[in-house]
């Protein structure tokens, strides 16, 4: 395919008009004009700099953002630049690296799902405290987690004088002196999971993020590996 060109259905899906299959239906129905002509062929090539694409006569701007899902390893910082440590951006070897950034932060010693993009609006929506996007973590905790802790997490924990956490879901996966748990939180305060366990007298010794909203870590990604989001994932997190 020539540089700067993209299939019509991909152009529309990337622009957030719908999923690839949804936009194919619009195209079939004759709702899409390219340079003033109805195009019913989804594979029609669009020149992203020159073609004028309209859906129901509305001009569609092409915005080709990058979206990467990274399985963050420990030892790497969730920042764009750092004087001492490797950053999550250093792990990305393609795309427009200049302006991608991590959507939120994981601690240096935390592993797991991190979304990287240059789409500021999407990042803002996912991080907005008002949206209460759920984040699921797997944790190993030094201490015996019981129903008592489940109840306390459910009720909310006071982490600061004027901050009580929203109800969080705690699930015991393996009980014991070292407990393996899954925890879901709906906000993202600094060191939140670690501080929640501290508040009940326990220490998190391993932490990994499994999901953020509708986006789930691809279990085939090894630590340090990444891939682009699929269209399906993208349309789910945009919702
Ligand atoms: N909570 C933490 O304590 N650390 C993280 O990295 C993420 C959530």
CATH number at residue 150: 3.30.70.1560
Q: pLDDT exceeding 90 applies to what percent of the chain?
A: 77
Bridge partners (DSSP) of residue 8 are none
Closest-CA residue to 157 (of 210, 191, 198, 211): 198
Q: Are residues 222 and 112 in the same domain?
A: yes
Distance 208 CA to ligand 1 centre (A): 8
- Residue 1, pLDDT > 90, answer no
Residue 147's domain comprises 134-212
> Could you tell me the CA-to-CA distances from 209 to 104, 129, 183, 193, 203 in Å, in that order?
12, 18, 9, 11, 17
- Which of the residue ranges 55-64, 105-114, 196-205 would you say has the lowest mean pLDDT? 55-64
CATH number at residue 51: 3.10.290.10
Q: Are residues 140 and 181 in the same domain?
A: yes
Q: Each residue of 99-139: pLDDT tens digit?
A: 899 999 999 999 999 999 999 999 999 999 889 999 999 99
- Residue 206, pLDDT > 80, answer yes
Q: Are residues 122 and 140 in the same domain?
A: no
Q: Are residues 159 and 122 in the same domain?
A: no
Span 73-78, average pLDDT: 98
Looking up tokens 């619009």 gives: 26
Q: Are residues 16 and 47 in the same domain?
A: yes
Q: How many domains does the chain have?
A: 3
Ligand 1 atom at minimum distance from 204 CA: 3
Q: Are residues 82 and 95 in the same domain?
A: yes
CB 91 near ligand 1, within 6 Å? no
Q: Each residue of 147-197: pLDDT tens digit?
A: 999 999 999 999 988 899 999 999 999 999 999 999 999 998 999 999 999
- Residue 19, pLDDT > 80, answer no
- Please tell me the predicted confidence (pLDDT) of residue 141: 98
Q: Are residues 81 and 101 in the same domain?
A: yes
CB 168 near ligand 1, within 6 Å? no
Q: Are residues 197 and 82 in the same domain?
A: no
Closest-CA residue to 172 (of 207, 208, 137, 145): 145
- Please tell me the predicted confidence (pLDDT) of residue 224: 98
Confidence band of 14 (pLDDT split at 50, 70, 90) = confident
Q: Are residues 112 and 90 in the same domain?
A: yes
Q: Output phi, psi for 218, to 5 deg.
A: -70, 115
Strand 169-174 versus strand 45-47 pairing type:
unpaired
Q: Are residues 75 and 103 in the same domain?
A: yes
- Please tell me the predicted confidence (pLDDT) of residue 238: 87
- Please tell me the predicted confidence (pLDDT) of residue 140: 98
CB 113 near ligand 1, within 6 Å? no
Distance 107 CA to ligand 1 centre (A): 6
- Please tell me the predicted confidence (pLDDT) of residue 93: 86
CATH number at residue 121: 3.30.70.580
- Please tell me the predicted confidence (pLDDT) of residue 96: 65
Looking up tokens 């609006």 gives: 121
Buried/exposed 12-23: b ≥16 CB within 10 Å, e otherwise? bbbbbbbbbeeb
- Residue 88, pLDDT > 90, answer yes
- Catalytic annotation, pick one of 107, 109, 119, 218: 107
Distance 99 CA to ligand 1 centre (A): 24
Ligand 1 atom at minimum distance from 135 CA: 8
- Residue 205, pLDDT > 80, answer yes
Q: Are residues 160 and 203 in the same domain?
A: yes
- Please tell me the predicted confidence (pLDDT) of residue 201: 97
Query: Which of 80-94, 191-205, 222-236: highest mean pLDDT?
Result: 191-205
Indicate the residue among 40, 59, 78 that finishes a domain: 59
> Is 9 an annotated catalytic residue?
no
- Please tell me the predicted confidence (pLDDT) of residue 20: 83
Distance 111 CA to ligand 1 centre (A): 9
CB 198 near ligand 1, within 6 Å? no
CA-nearest residue, atom 3 of ligand 1: 191
CB 183 near ligand 1, within 6 Å? no
Mean pLDDT across the chain, nearest whole number? 93
- Please tell me the predicted confidence (pLDDT) of residue 232: 83
- Please tell me the predicted confidence (pLDDT) of residue 95: 63
CA-nearest residue, atom 2 of ligand 1: 191
Q: Are residues 44 and 97 in the same domain?
A: no
- Which of the residue ranges 47-51, 170-174, 202-206 would you say has the lowest mean pLDDT? 47-51
């Amino acid at each position: 395919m020539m540089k700067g060109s993209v299939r019509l259905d991909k152009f529309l899906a990337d622009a957030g008009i719908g999923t690839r299959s949804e936009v194919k239906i619009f195209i079939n129905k004759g709702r899409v004009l390219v340079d003033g002509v109805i195009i019913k062929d989804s594979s029609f090539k669009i020149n992203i700099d020159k073609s004028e694409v309209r859906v129901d006569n509305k001009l569609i701007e092409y915005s080709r953002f990058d979206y990467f899902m990274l399985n963050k390893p420990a030892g790497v910082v969730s920042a764009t630049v750092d004087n001492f440590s490797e950053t999550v951006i250093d792990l990305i070897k393609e795309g427009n690296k200049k302006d991608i950034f991590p959507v939120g932060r994981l601690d240096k010693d935390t592993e797991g799902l991190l979304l990287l993009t240059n789409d500021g609006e999407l990042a803002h929506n996912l991080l907005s405290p008002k949206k209460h996007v759920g984040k699921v973590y797997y944790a190993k905790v030094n201490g015996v987690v019981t129903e008592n802790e489940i109840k306390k997490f459910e009720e909310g924990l006071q982490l600061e004088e004027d901050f009580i956490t929203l109800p969080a879901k705690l699930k015991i996966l393996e009980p014991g002196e070292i407990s393996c748990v899954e925890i879901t939180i709906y906000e993202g305060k600094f060191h939140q999971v670690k501080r929640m366990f501290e508040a009940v007298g326990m220490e998190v010794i391993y932490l990994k993020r499994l999901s953020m909203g509708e986006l789930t870590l691809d279990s085939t990604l090894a630590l340090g590996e990444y891939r682009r989001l699929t269209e399906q994932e993208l349309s789910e997190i945009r919702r």
